[in-house]
């Protein structure tokens, strides 16, 4: 009994030591890469592309807290829908964090002063989006959850609401929404009626109307430096390739790509509305990320990025490994660095690293508009 307790203690000590060492090594190498950037806080809203565990205790099929998810992540499966880091994990590192932003579901145990991740797999701009998969936390609720932690930030700062405002004005906010409003709503015609109610243009406009109200609420709650990511090239994900009636297994569904681009171009214009309307949104610094263009680059120029396979997921079932997501304990493909897609819907860690680095450093306004994330972070 006593021996095993002592062993346990020394084991915990070793783990703590390793953890400390790992953190130090990481912050050190990291500091060398980006000496000036030091963002004090980072808040995240979105769907499964950036969820890091908020769905773990929710009754839904949109869950990823089992093997082989997280196979390349130090903590194993955490609920991240990838083999390793998500795009916001990499962005957090690039803007100077030495630890990952915790999921909101865990914040009762951890401080929120440096940020929290509210994202939820299957979630969308519209509340009903994702109902086909079960429960989830839609954007409206993610924003209420953020509102719910403001008193804690205020207590921590020991000040008034002005102190909270001042703190939040230095934070980076990331919102990646819209993919499920297409995949798990508009395109899912046997479950949802939106495709018979709206033309693609009318649907994009309806989403943008809701989203602009949600982003205005985020501004009202204190968000000033806000990144909004557009929807990626979802007509080319393994899930769509598998469903597309074509003998060419890599032929994208261009109707679906065109539909999401109606949303994307409106979102880019929305950024101008926030940035240029000084009377209504003073101090707003919104940045649009064109996830469509950056994912298209990876898909159409695979060799440039070291990919051998872009039309088939690293794990999954059926045509293109795209019919369903990775099964529990399924053996994934051997070399994840050669695959663009981890499962039917989600990029591999290496793809997330490429996407984040592009967003951070690009000088081309087609990818990050009107400035890149490094510029946003140093403002």
Which residues are marked as active site? 48, 343, 346
For ligand NAG, the binding residues in 278-337 under the rule CB under 6 A are: 293, 306, 335, 337
CB of 281 to ligand NAG, least distance (A): 27
Nearer to ligand NAG, 67 or 337 (CB): 337
Q: In Å, what is the CA distance from 46 to each residue of 118, 123, 142?
A: 7, 7, 8
Residues 210-229 that bind ligand NAG (CB under 6 A): none
For residue 79, what are the CA distances in angstroms to 48, 128, 155?
A: 9, 22, 30
Window 56-75: residues binding ligand NAG (CB under 6 A): none
In a 10 Å sphere around its CB, with 0-12 CB exposed, 13-18 middle and 19+ buried, how is residue 269 labelled? exposed
Reading phi first (left if > 0) and then psi (alpha if -120 to 50, else beta), residue 222 is in left
CB of 243 to ligand NAG, least distance (A): 10
* Nearest approach, Cβ of residue 301 and ligand NAG (Å): 10
- Using CB under 6 A as the binding criterion, the count of chain residues that bind ligand NAG stands at 8
Q: Considering the complex, what minimum distance in angstroms separates the CB of residue 144 from ligand NAG? A: 37
Nearer to ligand NAG, 116 or 333 (CB): 333
When binding is defined by CB under 6 A, the residue of 330, 338, 374, 375 that contacts ligand NAG is: 338
Query: How far apart, in Å, are the Cα atoms of 298 and each of 63, 291, 344?
Result: 26, 11, 16
CB of 72 vs ligand NAG, minimal distance in Å: 12
3-state secondary structure of 157: helix
Tally of residues, the chain: 379
The answer to whether 287 and 370 have CB atoms below 8 angstroms apart is: yes
Q: Which is nearer to ligand NAG, 52 or 321 (CB)?
A: 321
Q: Which member of 258, 366, 378, 379 binds ligand NAG (CB under 6 A)? A: 366
**Binding positions for ligand NAG, 239-258, rule CB under 6 A:** 245
Report d(CA 324, CA 344) in Å as an integer.
6
Q: Specify the residue for token string 């087609």.
A: 366
Q: How far apart are CA 49 and CA 201, in angstroms?
A: 25
Q: Which is nearer to ligand NAG, 199 or 335 (CB)?
A: 335
Backbone angles phi, psi at 176, to 5 degrees: -120, 95
| 166 or 364: CB nearest ligand NAG | 364
Q: Which residues bind ligand NAG (CB under 6 A)?
A: 245, 293, 306, 335, 337-338, 364, 366
């Amino acid at each position: 009994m006593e021996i095993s307790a002592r062993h346990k203690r020394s084991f915990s000590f070793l783990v703590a030591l390793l953890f400390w060492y790992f953190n130090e090594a990481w912050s050190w190498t990291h500091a060398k890469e980006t000496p000036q950037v030091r963002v004090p806080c980072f808040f995240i809203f979105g769907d499964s592309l950036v969820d890091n565990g908020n769905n773990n205790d929710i009754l839904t099929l949109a869950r990823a807290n089992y093997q082989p998810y997280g196979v390349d992540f130090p903590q194993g499966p955490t609920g991240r829908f990838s083999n390793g880091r998500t795009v916001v994990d990499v962005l957090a590192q690039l803007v100077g964090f030495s630890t990952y932003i915790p999921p909101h579901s865990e914040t009762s145990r951890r401080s929120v002063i440096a940020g929290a991740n509210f994202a939820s797999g299957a979630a969308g701009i519209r509340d009903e989006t994702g109902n086909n998969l079960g429960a989830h936390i839609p954007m409206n609720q993610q924003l209420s959850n953020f509102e719910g932690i403001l008193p804690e930030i205020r207590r921590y700062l020991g000040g008034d609401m002005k102190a909270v405002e001042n703190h939040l004005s230095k934070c980076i906010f990331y919102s990646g929404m819209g993919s499920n409003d297409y995949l798990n709503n508009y395109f899912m015609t046997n479950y949802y009626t939106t495709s018979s109610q709206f033309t693609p243009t009318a649907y994009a406009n309806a989403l943008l109307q809701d989203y602009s109200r949600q982003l205005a609420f985020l501004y009202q709650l204190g968000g000033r430096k806000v990144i909004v990511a557009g929807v990626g090239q979802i007509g080319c994900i393994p899930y769509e390739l598998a469903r597309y009636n074509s003998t060419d297994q890599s032929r994208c569904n261009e109707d679906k790509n065109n539909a999401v681009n109606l949303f994307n171009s409106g979102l880019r214009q929305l950024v101008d509305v926030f940035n240029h309307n000084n009377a209504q949104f003073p101090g707003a610094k919104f940045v649009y990320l064109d996830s469509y263009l950056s994912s298209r680059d990876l898909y159409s120029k695979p060799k440039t990025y070291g990919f051998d396979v872009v039309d088939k997921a690293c794990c999954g079932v059926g045509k293109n490994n795209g019919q369903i997501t990775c099964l529990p304990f399924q053996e994934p493909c051997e070399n994840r660095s050669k695959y663009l897609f981890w499962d039917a819907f989600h990029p591999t860690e290496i793809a997330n690293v490429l996407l984040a680095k592009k967003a951070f450093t690009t000088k081309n306004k087609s990818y990050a508009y009107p400035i890149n994330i490094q510029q946003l972070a140093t403002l």
